[in-house]
Amino acid sequence: MKRRTTRGKRPRRTHGATPHRASAARGKRTTPRLVDRKEITLRINGTTHVATVDVRTTLVDFIREQVGLTGTHVGCEHGVCGACTILFDREPVRSCLLFAVQADGAEISTVESLGTPEHLHPVQEAFRDHHGLQCGFCTPGFLMTTMALLHDRPAPSEAEIRSALSGNLCRCTGYQGIVEAVLDAAQRLRTQAHS
């Protein structure tokens, strides 16, 4: 079934503009109005987007259907599987548990921010080399959670990796290849940082 989305206004792409909080100028004393739709401005992978969204549109639906970045996958749509994990103001979050309207002013990174098919990101290379994926459905979520983990912990232990990735489900790999990939990715990123 095709999901109904707000198509009223195509997102404009205005490169380089700074996102702003649309409501910042409004008086603090007045009670905010109840709205059904709202204009938002946010940055996704470095590009600023302005769009009007239905307040009940989830962030992942907005990213996929209004912005057209379909690398972020939608699995369970209720916060269990982790396929939709993105970085929201540099923190890993489930984009199915946020509404697009909440991302007004946010800085978002999706799997498209990593590498290209010709030039994979070292974390993607490590996943490929260690068979950290098979069907690939869960992979965008694993990659983005891994990015957040390795930012905080450049040399994680295996136990830390398993704990950090416990919110991402994979039905193909049995996880062993993924854990090995993350250990190796950490090594690759450290080598890259030193060279």
Partner 1 sequence: MKPAPFHYAAPETEEQTLALLHAHGSEAKLLAGGQSLVPLLSMRLARPSIIIDLNRVKTLDYVREEGEEIRIGAMTRQRNAERSSLVTRRLPLLAETLPFVGHLPIRSRGTVGGSIAHADPSAELPAVLVALGGSVVLRGLEKTRVVRGEDFFVSYLTTALRLDELLTEVRVPVHDRKGTAFLEIARRHGDYALVGVAAVVTMDGNRCAQARLAFTGVGPTPVRIPEVEVLLAGAVLTDAVLADVRTLVADRIDPEDDVHATAQYRKDVAGVLAERALRAAATRAMQPAHGLADQGHHGGET
In the region spanning residues 151 to 170, those forming contacts with partner 1, defined by CB under 8 A, are: 162-164, 166-168
Interacting residue with partner 1 among 55, 120, 172, 183 (CB under 8 A)? 55
Which contiguous run of DSSP H or E holds residue 127? helix 122-129
Nearer to partner 1, 13 or 56 (CB): 56
Helices 139-152 & 122-129, crossing angle to 10 degrees?
120
Task: Kindly identify the residues of this chain, within the stretch 27-46, that bind partner 1 according to CB under 8 A.
Answer: 28-36, 38
Q: How far is the CB of 119 from partner 1 (least distance, A)?
A: 27
As a whole number of angstroms, the distance between CA 193 and CA 195 comes to 6
Handedness of CA 144, 191, 131, 163 (dihedral sign): negative
The alpha-carbon radius of gyration of the chain (Å, integer) is 18
Min dist CB 194 to partner 1, Å, is 26
Q: 97-136 mask for partner 1 (x: CB under 8 A)?
A: xxx-xx----------------------------------
79 is an interface residue for partner 1 by CB under 8 A = yes
Please provide residue 44's backbone torsions phi and psi, each rounded to the nearest 5 degrees. Answer: -120, 120
